[in-house]
Amino acid sequence: MKSSPPKQVFISYSHHDEVFAADLEQALVRRGVSAFFAPRSIQPGDSFVELIENALARCQVGILLWSAAARESAWVTNEREVFAARRNRDGLRVIVVMLEKIELPALFSTVQAIKAVRHPNAETVADALLPGITPTSKIIGDRVPIQLESLDLATMRLLGGEIQRQAPEIRDERRPAVVYMEAKGKKRFGARINVNMAKDKDLTRNLGHLADRLGALEGSIHRFKSQEIEGGHEAANWPLKIARAEKEHAEVVTEIRELLNHFVRELWVEDVA
């Protein structure tokens, strides 16, 4: 049995629960988990909305801190809708942490929740979360070589984000120049990376930006199409907004595919259990 690398998580919470969310983020970091927590992840001068959208698009695990305040929060409502869309589209793992004894959101009524209703302790919750964030996997199939062109958009976006995230360790030679990603359908993708490309910080930063932008555009297109169906006083504007977003999406797909062709020397897939 082999443990997968810790995955990047996004913590969704209401302002009312911010103290516990901050303690949980620190507890996860101490356990080697990369967690997006807005107050610490966003720097002065950064675009608040854009960074949150990018983090939602890139995260591999969504953690929803659920309480009465979260239920009424417009920000949390938007984030859990993104979680649900990505769960259906590319198998995003979503973990609900119950901070109060209230009904689960309908979108996640079938998700097994972690209960922390009475005197929630961040260290205890982090320990309970860890198996879902770093699941143990066992390779049960042969390594099968594949071509970059065969990857779907969700996997390609994940690959770009993972290369950017793991590039500092590859540059410092603290680990082999190989990136692994677990995907929907009990598959694990592996990619051998061109070390010289990984050493170029501008290129790796651009690759990560393109992966983020791709995810954000997919979210925007989904939102625009939903609003087009709902109609309203701006109904006439949605087709143009959708067309522009789809055009930019196609351009970003071309850019990220071309850049990945330079980064990736070898690509394969394995079945895992």
Q: What are phi and psi of 180, to 5 degrees?
A: -115, 145
Alpha helical stretches, state H, the chain: 18-30, 38-41, 48-58, 68-72, 74-90, 122-133, 153-171, 195-198, 201-230, 238-263
Cα dihedral 69, 74, 77, 78 sign? negative
Better-predicted residue by pLDDT, 229 or 132: 132
Q: Could you give the CA distance from residue 265 to residue 99 in angstroms, rounded to a whole number? A: 46
For residue 58, the one-letter residue type is R
pLDDT of residue 56: 82
Over 60: is that where the pLDDT of 259 sits?
A: yes
- Structure tokens that stand for 150 in this block: 């065969």
pLDDT of residue 168: 75
pTM > 0.85: yes or no: no
pLDDT of residue 231: 64
How many residues appear in the chain? 273
pLDDT of residue 4: 47
In the chain, the percentage of residues whose pLDDT exceeds 90 is: 21
Q: Could you give the CA distance from residue 214 to residue 248 in angstroms, rounded to a whole number? A: 9
In CATH, 2-135 is 3.40.50.10140: yes
pLDDT of residue 72: 93
CB 141 within 8 A of CB 186: no
DSSP annotation of 234 reads: T
Taking alpha carbons only, the member of 88, 86, 81, 132 closest to residue 105 is 81
For 209-222, the pLDDT digits (tens) are 888 888 888 888 88
CB 85 within 8 A of CB 225: no
CB 19 within 8 A of CB 122: no
| Class of residue 128 by CB neighbours under 10 A (exposed 0-12, middle 13-18, buried 19+) | middle
- Structure tokens that stand for 6 in this block: 């810790």
Cα dihedral 10, 15, 20, 25 sign? positive
- DSSP letters for 63-77: EEEE-HHHHH-HHHH
- Tell me where in the chain the CATH 3.40.50.10140 domain(s) lie: 2-135
Measure the CA angle with vertex 245, ends 239 and 249; round to 5°.
140
For 156-197, the pLDDT digits (tens) are 888 888 788 777 777 766 556 787 776 666 777 888 888 888
| Class of residue 195 by CB neighbours under 10 A (exposed 0-12, middle 13-18, buried 19+) | middle
Q: What are phi and psi of 197, to 5 degrees?
A: -70, -40
